[in-house]
């Protein structure tokens, strides 16, 4: 099965929903851990780093899958602005889900921090300490994370708009399970 | 194919409301998690802000333990610790050590005799790339954090002490323990409890101390003041230049039931104590260009074989130290990197 039909491939849908869970958890952990001094700070930080590396790997796989299988066409009657918005927001989502973990890794390295993942896995350090780079990368990681959450809210709003208002099959193309319409095709 | 008009309108409106609720709910949950809806939440940023002296923080410096000097040396492990923890550093051998003698003050220019608590930041490096960082000190009574947790109300501290008699040991120590005129004569304690995990998986709650091999020579606070505002840094540099300075590392093992969650409560005497090796300080370097400047001595950076206990303070310190590090690295233009040119002369 390819995306030539009206739905993304099973692999694409699986990656989408798995990453949706990971990324939302990641963003909440990120803002949560930075607002607490409670003991949970330590496990949250380990989870954040572990999820970040996981998301980076999944995002690269997902990008390759997307390039290989493409995406179902948008409805022909979709207005031009919405079409443009869809394309730009999807590019933004791909860029951010790859860039944010990379910024996280590099801001830790340039802060002379070891990166230790769940299971006591120590990653090698690939960059030297640098005050200026640490500050730049930290700022980028911080502000782009909020931008990421904003784009995700936009993405969810658009998906629901397709599902509930336009009912044009765009939501169903990424829905985790076939909807009634598809299970029993009309006509 | 015309549809009955009121129904889709209502349904579209309902859908838009539903979308607004989902998005608004998501944004609110995010804002709550970030602490934006909880102005009184004790965040790492608030702790760090509360450490600032009345004149403002020492920009470009650590927000606490701001005054210090770097050292390098080795940790000589005698192998006795291997029974308690599988951390590589406890296998018999020598491991590179890097650290920082410091004063527990937010003022990078504080006079030595005005600061009661002295600390030692330490990083031990292991051949497989792991590091162990710690920030240990003379009795500190975890009091920076307690102070921060309290309001700016000057009476809050007294009220706190009255409610928490365990706070008294620090006050008692501060009053009665001798001052010294050397970082080399101080005992530094982990204060916090950690868990050592042996190769077989057995866990032990421990605290540890670095006991000086140098002779302690008491001095009064007044006499220390007479030696000058930066005497400690001169003294340690001269002393180490003459001969490496050594501390014995002693690990104290808790008995079951000993309180590990409260660093202010000492364990009863007679607990098992294991000498695991010695820290040998071989070289002193000024902080400005020294190897300790760029290190955050975050006490939760632990090698495999050591992890945090139910003591909540390492986590709180880790969170606050990270904020301090991010601040000072972003303020590098204020850091007196080549300061001597500007004025004051060496010291």
pLDDT tens for the 347 residues of chain B, in order: 444 444 556 689 999 999 999 999 999 999 999 999 998 888 999 888 888 888 889 999 999 999 999 999 999 999 999 999 999 999 999 999 999 999 999 999 999 999 999 999 999 999 999 999 999 999 875 554 555 554 455 565 566 666 666 566 777 888 889 999 999 999 999 989 999 999 999 999 999 999 999 999 999 999 999 999 999 999 999 999 999 999 999 999 999 999 999 887 889 999 999 999 999 999 999 998 899 999 999 999 999 999 999 999 999 999 999 999 999 999 988 887 644 433 333 33
Of the candidates B272, B20, B53, B42, the one whose C-alpha atom is nearest the C-alpha of residue B149 is B42
Number of domains chain B is built from: 1
Q: Are A182 and A176 in contact (CB under 8 A)?
A: no
CA torsion through residues A62, A68, A74, A75, sign: negative
Q: What is the pLDDT of residue B8?
A: 59
Q: Report chain A residues whose CB lies below 8 A from the CB of B295.
A: 112
Residue B29 domain-assigned? no
Task: Render pLDDT for A93-123 as a digit per residue (tens, 0 to 9).
Answer: 999 999 999 999 999 999 999 999 999 999 9
* Residue B289: per-residue pLDDT: 86
Domain of residue A45, residue span:
10-72+79-177
* In-domain check, residue A3: no
Q: Kindly state whether residue B205 falls inside one of the protein's structural domains.
A: yes
What pLDDT sits at residue A183? 45
Residue B159 domain-assigned (yes or no): yes
Which chain B residues are closer than 8 Å to A36 by Cβ? 35, 41-44, 319
| Residue A182 maps to a domain | no
Q: What is the pLDDT of residue B284?
A: 98
Give pTM, 2 decimals.
0.90
What's the CATH number where A14 sits? 1.20.950.20
Enter the tokens of residue B81. 């610790």
Q: What is the CATH number of the domain that holds B245?
A: 2.40.180.10
Q: Is residue B67 part of a domain?
A: yes
> What local confidence, expressed as pLDDT, does residue B74 receive?
98
Q: What is the ipTM of this complex?
A: 0.92
Whose tokens are 């590589």? That residue is B88
In a domain, A137, yes or no: yes
* A187 domain residue, yes or no: no
Secondary structure class of B347 (helix, strand, coil):
coil
**How far lies B331's CA from each of A124, A163, B69, B336, in Å?**
28, 49, 19, 11
pLDDT per position as a tens digit, A155-175: 999 999 999 999 999 999 999
Chain B residue closest to A154 (CA)? B23
Asked if the structure places residue B133 within a domain, the reply is: yes
Output the CA angle B33-A115-B104, nearest 5 degrees: 75
Q: Kindly list the residues from chain B whose CB atom is less than 8 angstroms away from the CB atom of residue A116.
A: 301
Distance CA A13, CA A11 (A): 6
Of A38, A114, A157, the CB nearest to B312: A38
CB A33 within 8 A of CB B309: no
Integer angstrom CA distances of residue B306 from A63, B97, B235: 39, 17, 34
| Residue B251 structural domain | 42-335
Which has the closest alpha carbon to B81: B310, B311, B305? B305
Distance CA(B249)–CA(A97), nearest Å, equals: 45
Please indicate, yes or no, if residue A1 is contained in any of the structural domains. no
Count up the domains in chain A and report the number.
1
Q: Closest by alpha carbon to B100, among B297, B316, B237?
A: B297
> Is residue A146 included in any domain, yes or no?
yes
For A:110-139, CB contacts with B below 8 A are: 111-114, 116, 120, 122, 124-125, 129, 131-132, 134-135, 138
pLDDT block averages, 10 residues each, chain A of length 187: 72 97 98 95 98 98 96 94 96 98 98 96 97 97 98 97 94 83 44
């Amino acid at each position: 099965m390819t995306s030539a039909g009206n739905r993304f491939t099973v692999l694409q849908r699986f990656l989408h929903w798995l990453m949706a869970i990971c990324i939302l958890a990641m963003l909440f952990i990120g803002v949560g851990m930075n607002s607490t001094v409670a003991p949970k700070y330590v496990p949250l930080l380990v989870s954040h780093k572990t999820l970040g590396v996981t998301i980076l790997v999944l995002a690269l796989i997902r990008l390759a899958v997307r390039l290989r299988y493409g995406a179902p066409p948008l409805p022909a009657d979709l207005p031009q602005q919405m079409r443009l918005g869809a394309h730009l927001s999807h590019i933004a989502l791909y860029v951010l889900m790859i860039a944010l973990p990379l910024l996280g890794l590099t801001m830790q390295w340039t802060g002379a921090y070891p990166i230790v993942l769940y299971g006591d896995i120590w990653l090698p350090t690939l960059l030297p300490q640098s005050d200026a780079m640490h500050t730049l990368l930290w700022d980028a990681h911080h502000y782009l994370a909020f931008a990421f959450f904003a784009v995700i809210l936009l993405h969810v709003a658009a998906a629901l708009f397709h599902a509930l208002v336009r009912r044009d099959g765009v939501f169903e193309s990424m829905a985790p399970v076939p909807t009634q319409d598809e299970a029993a095709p009309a006509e | 194919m015309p549809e009955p008009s009121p129904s889709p309108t209502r349904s579209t409106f309902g859908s838009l409301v539903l979308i607004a609720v989902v998005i608004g709910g998501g944004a609110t949950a995010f804002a709550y998690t970030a602490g934006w809806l909880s102005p009184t939440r004790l965040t790492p940023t608030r702790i760090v802000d509360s450490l600032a002296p009345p004149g403002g923080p020492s920009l470009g410096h650590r927000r606490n333990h701001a005054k210090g000097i770097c050292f390098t040396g080795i940790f000589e492990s005698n192998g006795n610790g291997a029974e308690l923890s599988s951390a590589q550093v406890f296998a018999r051998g020598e491991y590179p050590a890097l650290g920082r003698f410091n004063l527990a003050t937010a003022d990078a220019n504080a006079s030595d005799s005005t600061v009661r608590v002295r600390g030692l930041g330490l990083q031990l490096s292991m051949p497989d790339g792991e590091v162990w960082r710690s920030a240990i000190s003379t009795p500190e009574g975890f009091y920076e954090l307690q102070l921060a947790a309290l309001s700016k109300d000057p009476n809050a501290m007294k009220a706190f002490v009255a409610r928490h008699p365990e706070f008294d040991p620090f006050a008692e120590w501060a009053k009665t323990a001798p001052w010294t005129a050397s970082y080399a004569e101080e005992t530094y304690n982990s204060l916090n409890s950690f868990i050592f995990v042996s190769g077989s998986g057995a866990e032990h709650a421990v605290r540890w101390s670095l006991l000086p091999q140098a002779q302690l020579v008491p001095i009064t606070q007044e006499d220390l003041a007479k030696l000058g505002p930066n005497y400690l840094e001169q003294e340690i540099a001269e002393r180490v230049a003459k001969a490496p300075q050594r501390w014995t590392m002693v690990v104290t093992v808790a008995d079951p039931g000993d309180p590990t969650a409260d660093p202010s409560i000492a364990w009863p005497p007679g607990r098992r104590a294991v000498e695991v090796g010695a820290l040998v300080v071989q070289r002193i370097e000024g902080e400005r260009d020294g190897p300790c400047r760029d290190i955050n001595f975050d006490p939760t950076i632990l090698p495999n074989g050591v992890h945090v206990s139910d003591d909540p303070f390492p986590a709180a310190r880790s969170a606050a130290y990270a904020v301090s590090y991010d601040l000072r690295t972003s303020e590098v233009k204020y850091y007196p990197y080549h300061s001597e040119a500007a004025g004051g002369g060496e010291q």
